[in-house]
Amino acid sequence: MDELLNKEPVKRAQDALQRFDKSLKVKVLEKTARTAKDASLALGCEVGAIVKSLLFRAENSFILCLVSGDKKCSLNKLKKITQKNDLCMASPDQVKTQTGYTIGGVSPVGLLNEIEIFMDNTLKRFEILYAAAGHPNCIFEINFKKLNEITSSKVLEITE
């Protein structure tokens, strides 16, 4: 399992974490964390403590939304915030091209391109959050404040 730490996307996430805070480390899970439910089962935590990284295409740009695992991102709220009506989920190819990660392992750090990031305010409920780190079996543990700082995200009400 430790060979996953040598995969380029995982190394990119780990490097971003290390540059921000030496205590943040990528952990390899024996079970997949491809979905929030899978991750919560593998980690033994509430689904809401899992950070879903969802990429949306807004006309000619992209927005990464960090959403609590037990919530659903609201397209209507995103449209109001961005004032863009042409807003939809990015395709798997766009996710890979824009973030450098494949769906199921999209990390909010170590992105290939600079992307505006919105963070769901309901994530504040949890002392510890878990986010993907470049592979469906790799995660990192972080608190709300540090996740907000490392991602330079805007904390907003973006869920239904």
**How large is the average pLDDT for residues 65-69?**
98
| pLDDT for the residue numbered 112 | 97
pLDDT in tens, 97-131: 999 999 999 999 999 999 999 999 999 999 999 99
Q: Enter the pTM of the model.
A: 0.95
- Look at residue 64 and tell me whether its pLDDT is greater than 80: yes
pLDDT in tens, 18-57: 999 999 999 999 888 888 999 999 999 999 999 999 999 9
Nearest CA to 53 out of 1, 123, 145 is that of 123
| pLDDT for the residue numbered 59 | 87
- Look at residue 1 and tell me whether its pLDDT is greater than 70: no
**In percent, how much of the chain has pLDDT > 90?**
91
For the chain, list the domains and their CATH numbers: 2-156 (3.90.960.10)
**pLDDT level of residue 137 (50, 70, 90 thresholds):** very high
DSSP string, 62-81: EEEEEEETTS-B-HHHHHHH
**How large is the average pLDDT for residues 127-141?**
96
Q: Is 39 helix (H, G, I), strand (E, B) or coil?
A: helix
Phi first, then psi: give them for residue 146, nearest 5 degrees: -65, -40
C-alpha to C-alpha distance for 20 and 2, rounded to whole angstroms: 22
